[in-house]
Structure 1
């Protein structure tokens, strides 16, 4: 996409030095237009480079892994149940860790809410009955509500924590059984699955880079279209103003 040049309608039509000064908005929108054009060109180049890099690494991974399969042989296929169980166990571990953190946060929120209730209740007991402090009563009501919500959250978090812990333990048990059963084939196939994991991480990062560049390109194109619409709107406003000025009072319905 080429830069927006001064030969375009939004420059020729809008500039009339003999009649009036150029609308100051025009220059600003032209600058935005040119900047977004530069951004689009840069993003398109980087996006194509990113896609090419992804394809290159994918081809390289395919070739290297196929070579290892031929070299290692049947052990790759035979050990797949273990490596899948290992992946499931790792995922279960992450879920269990998140559940533990959620339970700890819920416990802390509940503790803080109960402390607020205790403070508010003590203050209300100390208040002279003739000088009832409505602010502390409001605080007590709010803290009581927070305690109820925090208790519900803690109960749910505790349940999730137990479920994820059980899932993790089951996954680990399954993995250890397979590890014992397939120890020889696991050791033999280890270079293949380690290389596969390495390429997986690399391709995930390259894919994220491509997605980020695509998002930036979409944003730049949106800014370009916005600037173009703004220039067209300014052009229409100026032409309407000139038409109204050229028509004069009689053109606006005056019969004098």
Structure 2
């Protein structure tokens, strides 16, 4: 059993897969560190945005609430404008497709009329002409539908525009006075949304990398199964006993449960709603205006403390996604190397 010609050499594929595991582990650790840092940045931005909006809310007073209908209608106006522009683009596109389809039919008919003495109007021509005609009808229907949708959205945009102008005339003084607050709020929302998109992108990359890690483990298990079957063929004397008894898990099978359940989108802790968190600033400020002193700016209210505690819990949960420490990546190679040594393959119970 221990003679060199009976020893099984270490499969080179195992080393390749082990290197993949180690590099993937480093990548997972790197991404999770980036995710933690991105969440920390998001939390800092949220706290700073909340602080700035509270200061402006206490400084400007009731004009914010008075002008709120105008700024809410302004958001509706922008959304309606985008929808109207998109509908116009779709209508122009449908109009172009319809014109091209009509031109195709006209050219086909003209070409046949020119060569009608040479060509025969057979089934092939009829089928081609019918197909082109159907294209024209489909394009015409699409054009009509796009036109109706464009008119509908244009009418809605016109109505919103009129309402916005009415509110602007009615609340002109409050709008001008509260503009710094709402401009600051828009800026904060843009910054937070940008950071939130970055966090979501990192989360997707982590999930993708962990899936790759799991696939590599499966490849190692497949190699282990192949080695096991090879040992069975070489040890013909023990073949009957091996077939009767239950086979133990292959090399590395005990490691699979670690990544058996990969993190999905639902497993990541969702970030707080940006608009809701920023709106709380002015609501709290308005409720405390009657008893605000000159030192109120420097005090943190109960909600801000709760918000920090909630974000700290969120940070702890995000750290729980860590797969393993970087030092552990080196230990896999030793485990695989020991279990695939030639002496171990001589044991029929492997």
Give the TM-score normalised by structure 1: 0.87
- 1:30 positional shift: 1.7
What is the aligned partner in structure 1 of residue 194 from structure 2?
205
Note closer, same or farther for the CA distance 1:176–1:17 as it changes in structure 2 (3 Å cut): farther
8 Å Cα contact 1:79-1:185 kept in structure 2: yes
Q: Give deviations 1:141-172, integer Å, cap 9, x for gaps.
A: 22211111111111110011011101111111
What is the aligned partner in structure 1 of residue 24 from structure 2?
36
- 1:244 positional shift: 2.1
> Whole-Å Cα distance in 2 between the matches of residues 18 and 201 of structure 1?
68
Q: How does 1:54-203 map to 2 (within 5 A)?
A: 54-128=42-116, 131-132=119-120, 136-203=125-192
> Whole-Å Cα distance in 2 between the matches of residues 64 and 249 of structure 1?
77
8 Å Cα contact 1:120-1:137 kept in structure 2: no
Where is the helix percentage greater, Structure 1 or Structure 2? 1
> Whole-Å Cα distance in 2 between the matches of residues 153 and 128 of structure 1?
33
Number of equivalent positions: 237
Note closer, same or farther for the CA distance 1:98–1:250 as it changes in structure 2 (3 Å cut): closer
What is the aligned partner in structure 1 of residue 252 from structure 2?
none
8 Å Cα contact 1:120-1:136 kept in structure 2: no
What is the aligned partner in structure 2 of residue 19 from structure 1?
7
Are positions 1:47 and 2:21 aligned together? Answer: no
> Whole-Å Cα distance in 1 between the matches of residues 26 and 60 of structure 2?
51
Give the TM-score normalised by structure 2: 0.64
- Aligned partner of residue 231 in structure 1, secondary structure: helix
Note closer, same or farther for the CA distance 1:176–1:61 as it changes in structure 2 (3 Å cut): same
What is the aligned partner in structure 2 of residue 219 from structure 1?
208
8 Å Cα contact 2:232-2:238 kept in structure 1: no
> Whole-Å Cα distance in 2 between the matches of residues 213 and 21 of structure 1?
41
> Whole-Å Cα distance in 1 between the matches of residues 118 and 221 of structure 2?
71
Q: Give deviations 1:27-68, integer Å, cap 9, x for gaps.
A: 332222122111111110011111111111011111110110
> Whole-Å Cα distance in 2 between the matches of residues 129 and 56 of structure 1?
81
RMSD of the alignment, in Å? Answer: 2.1
Deviating more after overlay: 95-104 vs 27-36: 27-36
> Whole-Å Cα distance in 1 between the matches of residues 133 and 24 of structure 2?
54
- 1:127 positional shift: 2.7
Deviating more after overlay: 242-251 vs 45-54: 242-251
Q: Give deviations 1:113-153, integer Å, cap 9, x for gaps.
A: 00000001111222335632665544422221111111111
- 1:70 positional shift: 0.1
Note closer, same or farther for the CA distance 1:81–1:133 as it changes in structure 2 (3 Å cut): same
